[in-house]
A and B are shown apart, each in its own frame.
Chain A
Amino acid sequence: MKKIILLIALAATIQACTKVITPKLNNAATQLVIQGAVSDTAGPYYVSITRSVGFYEGNVFPPVSGAIVSIADNTAGPTDVLSETSPGMYITHSIQGIHGDTYSLKVMLDGQTYTATSTMPMPVALDSVSFYVSDTTQVRAQANFKDPAGTPNFYRYSITLNGVYDKRIQAFSDRLSDGRYIRDKIDNDTMEIRKNDMVALSLIGIDKSTFTYFKEAAEIAYSNASLAAPATPTSNIMGGCLGYFSAQTVSTKKAVVKF
């Protein structure tokens, strides 16, 4: 859509122009952000707690220490109380993710309790990561995998380039693709993929509420200008905070860019 509008502007022998503005934004109370996951890969797993900052401040989100964090496997029984290894970063000790189990997160901080549950889906394997050159001569990665038919599946992607995590949110659901063989183009953030780069792509199977959070977060992060009613993503954690708790499956493939 954006391209089309640019095209119109161009064709009309005029150019759309942009400028940076600084509208006054109301100060909102600082929000607590809890992000945690349990996966089917070997532990430990992490829960991070940070706070929101003002829009015009730097992208540095202050960590929150001193929380009591626990993750329980509701299906199998054990509860793991996490340790804070660095400020705002909490780590599991023993718990191991099992497909189909439901996990619950409990965070206690300043007299408030935040809780969430998430069920780990059945695993979906990523067949391969391949590359292609898009019309803008940029190299992009592509995820290749078969979506299981008959069940709703939700995914997100995570990509590292020569070992460096690319900060980009991308989620996908099989709502319109149930049972298809998926070849999905992966957007990357600021990093450009070049010849001889080592790319690791992870297909992460998530549950519906986690997907909703990531899908809405992606819309807000990348296309807030075209939303009629942009709103804060819906967290799956109860108690009045932002963030997510996800029991997830991870399938990773690596490849070197040949062209």
Chain B
Amino acid sequence: MVFKVLLWKELRSLLLNKGALISLVLIPIVILMAGQASVQQATKVATSKLCVAVTGPEAQAVERFLEMRGVCLTTPAKADLVIYASPGLLENLSRGLPVKLSVYYRLESLSIASLKAPLSIAKLLAKIAGNVSLVTPKVVVNATVLLPTGKAISGSVASMMMTMLNVLSFPLIFAAIFAFAPAISSMMMEYSDKTIEILLSQPVKRTTIALAKSVAATVTGLVQGGVMIAAMFAMMSEMPKGLGGLSLQALGSPSAMVLLAASVIAEMVFAASLALAISVFMPGPEAMGGAMAIIVVIGIGVATFATSYGVPLAPLKALMLSPIPLIGPMLVSALNLAGAVAYGWLVVLVRLVEAGILIKLFARLLESERSLTAAIRFMRGLS
């Protein structure tokens, strides 16, 4: 009961204030604008460099069609993508009708840059076909990874892996950068509102107060992270469906994503606690500013670590070399799951450590009136 009362109060103060509301509206707008600008730029660069090879029954006709429109043509071994020219493809391209293409990637080009290729290809082909609209692209691209053994992995598994590898890291890092704020502001509001002593003198266990603050900060971080991820989804939805497009199905496991996000946010809360501890041991507004800078650095570092641990990049590349098709992707999926479970436990562990630190912190803060005054002065300075 008391925990619920405290949690509700914390959530209200964290979510229903001007700063939080503004950030919930502004952050998605900034992400959308910045994201779209960068995607457009990447498309522009990639499009100009793409070289295409054409195979299949109508290869010659399609090659002529593309050549006349200034597309770089080459042999399949050197091509960035290979188009299989099935019967009817040329007609559809000429008329600007939807076409379905298989796009082959060479293994060595498996990188973040290569993920932009489907969009570039879509845009290129849409341009060729006289349609430059990206919102409703007429080209549907399916991903196929070409292994050195000559075999190809195609379908949702490859799509899921590659999407998680390269795209998931961005919203997680964004979430991590912004999620430390609730933890810090929860504590800071108590100082600036001068409510900390009244709260601590109530008949409530310190652990309950610390846990309520901690949970509220995490929930707030998840809400903000959720809004950011939604903004990312909205941005990515402008890409063609398939590999380049981001959907929950493509991510494979929404729960894994939530666990990963939670783990990053938990790390952020932990970092925020550390920063507060630093500010207590080194009182003064400068130390507090330094501590906040440290949080940002720790946050980005931890987020990067968490992302690469949860979605192991290096082992994936090695596993992809497996001579047996699909073994690599299956192992990677299993690793992802294990990583997510491990992170679930890490979240719990971090939560316990963090609660302990917060409790110590409360006691320590009250021991030093100077740091309390410094914190208040710093907050006033910020405002």
Do A and B actually bind? no
Q: Which residues of B are interface residues toward A (Cβ below 8 A)?
A: none
